A = this chain, B = another copy of it.
Amino acid sequence: MNEVSHMTTVAAATADIGSLFVTRQSVTLRQRVYEKLRQAIVERRLPPGTKLVERDLCEQLGVSRPSLREALRHLESEKLIEMVPHKGSVVAALKQRDVCEIYDIRAALEGPACERFAQLASEDDMASLMQAHAQLCKAASQSDSDGIFRAKTAFYQALFSGSDCAISQVLVSSLNTRAEVLRRMSIARKHRCLQILTEFEPIVEAAQKRDGAAMKASCIAHLEAAKAAALEQLSIVERENTAHDSKRPNKSG
Which chain A residues have a beta carbon within 8 Å of chain B's beta carbons?
Answer: 25-28, 31, 66, 69-70, 73-74, 77-79, 85-86, 97-98, 101-102, 104-105, 108-109, 112, 164-168, 170-171, 175
- Tell me the complex Cα distance, A69–B166, Å: 26
Residues from chain B with a CB closer than 8 A to the CB of A108 are: 108-109, 112
Residues from chain B with a CB closer than 8 A to the CB of A168 are: 101, 105
Q: Are A86 and B26 in contact (CB under 8 A)?
A: yes
24 pairs of residues in contact across A and B, judged by CB atoms under 8 Å: A25-B85, A26-B85, A26-B86, A27-B85, A28-B85, A31-B85, A66-B69, A69-B70, A70-B73, A73-B73, A73-B74, A77-B77, A77-B78, A79-B170, A97-B166, A101-B166, A101-B167, A105-B109, A105-B167, A105-B168, A108-B108, A108-B109, A167-B175, A171-B171
Which of B77, B78, B98 is in CB contact (< 8 Å) with A74? B77
- Tell me the complex Cα distance, A88–B226, Å: 40
